[in-house]
Amino acid sequence: MNNAGAEQTGTASATINFTKLNDAPSITLKYCVFDENLPITTVVYDGNATDVDSSDTITFSISGTDAALFTVDSNDGEVRLKTSADFETKNSYSFNIIATDNGAGTLSTSKAVTLSVNNLNDPPS
């Protein structure tokens, strides 16, 4: 008998394994202006980052041109000046905010931030 051209069927099974990959955090930037002469405890920028890997913890750091003039809370991204700002001395500041996750193959995201100082009416000297 010749079975040429006859339909043949069969079954097979396969196992597909998915490996979860680490995604870098995403930083949300916002325009920031703050008044001069604020106390150094004042938050002048609040780093905001999210990570689709919900189990990852995000830590914050800063780098760049004016980074040495600030402190950053590594847990929540709150940035404060080390000394009070004076518009007549320096009217803007620039730094990079860096969000780093603790997932497998640690990933970071960096965004440039520029903060502007709002000039207030200074008392006469």
* pLDDT of 79: 96
Contacts of 21 (CB under 8 A, 6+ apart): none
Alpha carbon distance 100, 92 (integer Å): 26
Mean pLDDT by 10 residues, the chain (125 residues): 72 82 81 92 91 84 96 95 95 95 85 94 80
Q: Where are the domains of the chain?
A: 26-118
- 65 DSSP assignment: T
The pLDDT value recorded for residue 2 is 61
Domain 26-118: CATH superfamily is: Cadherins (2.60.40.60)
